Amino acid sequence: MSKLYLVRHGETEWNRQQRSQGCSNDIPLSEVGIKQAEAVSAKLKYEKIDATFSSDLVRAYETARIIARPHNIPVNRFEELREMNLGKWEGLCFSQINEQYREELKIWEETPHLAKIPGGENIVGLRERSMKKLMEIIKTYENKNILIVSHGITIKVMLASIMGIDLCNLHKI
């Protein structure tokens, strides 16, 4: 059986500003985010990691590179592990989303599986792309220890899928 480590990327300045990042804004780690990645690296330093994967976005890739450094293994980057496309919400502060897209945000918060973010992706589409890649990785690295660095919503969707949790309960994860 494979052992899977799912890690969210470290903090970015946009996280600190409570700004929606999504997948079209390639924001690097902040100093705090680098320290967070270093802390995870120290925690996993003595674990056997056979393969490391990340989203192709710089915040996830930087986090994965820092964590993988003591293991001396490359980081494989995949677009399928990116954060959910948040369309017109990307780049907006959460307060702006609440003001400009109140109804859509309410649906996202209460019934995420039904949400239609303007110009964005839905979580069913996110599940299809991320789980297809995850299952491919697990099949290729059967009985190996696998590190995947991705994004908050993407990881929640993968966890829900792995554990058989309906996507309507996404925000409970």
2 to 50, 60, 73, 137, 138: CA distances (angstroms): 10, 22, 17, 10, 7
Catalytic residues: 9, 83
CB contact at 8 A, 136 and 128: no
Q: Which residue has the tokens 């299952």?
A: 135
From the list 88, 78, 73, the residue with the least C-alpha distance to 133 is: 78
Give the C-alpha separation, 166 to 110, whole Å: 13
